[in-house]
Amino acid sequence: MGIDCGSQIILCDLPIRLDTYVGCSHACSYCFVKKKTDITDVKPDFSEASLRKFIAGGRTQSTNWCDWDIPLHVGGVSDPFQPAEAVHKKTKKMLEVFAETGYPFVFSTKGRLAKEPEYLNLIRRCNCVAQVSIASPEYDEYEKGAPPFAERVEIVRALAQNTRRCLCRIQPYLPQHHASIFASLEAFAEAGAYGVIVEGMKYQDKRPDTERVAGDFCYKLDLLRKRFTELRKEAHRLGMKFFSGENRLRGMGDGLCCCGVEGVPGFVGNTFNYNHFLFAPPQCESHGGNEAPQDGALLPRYVPDASRGEEHRPQLVRRGHNVAEDEEDSAYRLRAGEIEV
């Protein structure tokens, strides 16, 4: 698959992903990728040439909308530090390229190799943010092919000391384990986690307390809002940030990029997506986590950027206001009613 951008572009700040493997031997019972393909046949899937081409500005049909050094998301559909890496060393080769170039990236893992000196020495030289998939000890029953909870806490500790930031991914969030997840936040904070990312489980069939959202059955909004509020309050008490990977509640987070990279120098994501239309950024104007913006709220639009010649960049403008920086070009006008939220 290599470097690719899928349908998440309409929702995600970092939608361009890079996977070093196809398949995953962690075999988590909740894995969303299993809905689409067989993950049991693990194979290397990394091209150094493709990565270097992308870093140099080369783009493909799925990524040619992006003309800046957008951070890549490594491990979107396969864990880069799964056991196969001990044999094939594709992730190590990838890290060597990133360490050499300084290109920004985020990686997601629950693999124990990430904390081994062979890899930590490379990670330390990279411009990266780490995410460790970890929720509570009770999840060990769903993740029989992955390191247990206690070991993953140590992975968080190691990565927190060797990356720009390390976040804990509570994805998927399962309400029946809420008490254990809540109690686990203290271990995350003690290990040095910058914050937590929380997103509810999505099912293909109807389950208790779920409702249909697009093609999935998701936990009801009122249930998630209540539980997320409790987790957010506790995360803040412990000195951590809270981010909502749940698109319906993205505004509850301490930033609209649920990867938690906002404020990291050189990490510039794509803010021209649905969540940035629907929720005003917290530093500009808050809407309580799930309310559509009213007139006067801040929304993104594209404006010319002289530093990039003919290229464009997103800028926030007030909803409901007439905007015409260039009266000769109607493409830069935003009038009330042109954007339906």
pLDDT value at position 1? 58
- The pLDDT-based confidence of 80 (bands split at 50, 70, 90) is very high
- The pLDDT-based confidence of 42 (bands split at 50, 70, 90) is confident
With H, G, I as helix, E, B as strand and everything else as coil, classify residue 300.
strand
User: Phi first, then psi: what are they for 242, rounded to 5°?
Assistant: -125, 130
* Rounded Cα distance, 162 and 312, in Å: 34
- Where b means 16+ CB within 10 Å and e means fewer, 61-94 reads eebeebbebbbbbbbbbbbbbbbbbeebbbbbbb
- The pLDDT-based confidence of 76 (bands split at 50, 70, 90) is confident
- High-pLDDT (> 90) share of the chain, %: 67
pLDDT value at position 36? 66
* Rounded Cα distance, 79 and 74, in Å: 8
- The pLDDT-based confidence of 69 (bands split at 50, 70, 90) is very high
How many structural domains comprise the chain?
1
| DSSP-derived secondary structure for 201-256 | -EESS--TTEEEETTEEEE-HHHHHHHHHHHHHHHHHTT-EEEE--GGGGGGSSSS
- Where b means 16+ CB within 10 Å and e means fewer, 218-228 reads bbeeebbbebb
- Report whether 175 contacts 140 (CB < 8 A): no
Residue 301 domain-assigned?
Answer: no
pLDDT value at position 32? 67
pLDDT tens digits for 232-271?
999 999 999 999 999 999 999 999 999 999 999 999 999 9
User: Phi first, then psi: what are they for 225, rounded to 5°?
Assistant: -60, -45
Q: Domain containing 91 — which CATH number?
A: 3.80.30.30
- The pLDDT-based confidence of 299 (bands split at 50, 70, 90) is very low
Instruction: Tokens for 308, please give them.
Output: 């990039």
Residue 25 domain-assigned?
Answer: yes
pLDDT value at position 148? 95
- The pLDDT-based confidence of 278 (bands split at 50, 70, 90) is confident
- Report whether 20 contacts 94 (CB < 8 A): yes
* Beta bridge pairs of residue 300: 316
- Where b means 16+ CB within 10 Å and e means fewer, 169-187 reads bbbbbbbebbeebbebbeb
- The pLDDT-based confidence of 314 (bands split at 50, 70, 90) is very low
Residue 339 domain-assigned?
Answer: no
* Rounded Cα distance, 35 and 221, in Å: 23
With H, G, I as helix, E, B as strand and everything else as coil, classify residue 268.
coil
Distances (CA, A) of 176 to 209, 223, 264: 11, 11, 34
Residue 340 domain-assigned?
Answer: no
* Rounded Cα distance, 53 and 59, in Å: 8
Q: Say if residue 200's pLDDT is above 60.
A: yes
Domain extent, residue 63, equals 3-278
Torsion sign, CA atoms 22, 115, 143, 88: positive
- The pLDDT-based confidence of 283 (bands split at 50, 70, 90) is very low
pLDDT value at position 22? 86
Distances (CA, A) of 340 to 159, 287, 336: 42, 17, 9
Closest residue by Cα to residue 156 from 106, 190, 204, 202: 190
Of 4-18, 181-195, 254-268, 325-339, which range is least confident? 325-339
Of 180-184, 190-194, 287-291, which range is least confident? 287-291
Q: Which residue has the tokens 């969303």?
A: 32
Q: Say if residue 16's pLDDT is above 50.
A: yes
Residue 314 domain-assigned?
Answer: no
Residue 155 domain-assigned?
Answer: yes
Question: pTM for the full model?
Answer: 0.81
Instruction: Tokens for 276, please give them.
Output: 């940035």
pLDDT value at position 23? 79
Of 34-38, 221-225, 252-256, 291-295, which range is least confident? 291-295
pLDDT value at position 38? 63
Residue 123 domain-assigned?
Answer: yes
pLDDT value at position 28? 80
- High-pLDDT (> 70) share of the chain, %: 79
Rg (CA), the chain: 20
pLDDT tens digits for 151-191?
999 999 999 999 999 999 999 999 999 999 999 999 999 99
Q: Say if residue 289's pLDDT is above 60.
A: no
Residue 249 domain-assigned?
Answer: yes
Average pLDDT over all residues of the chain: 83
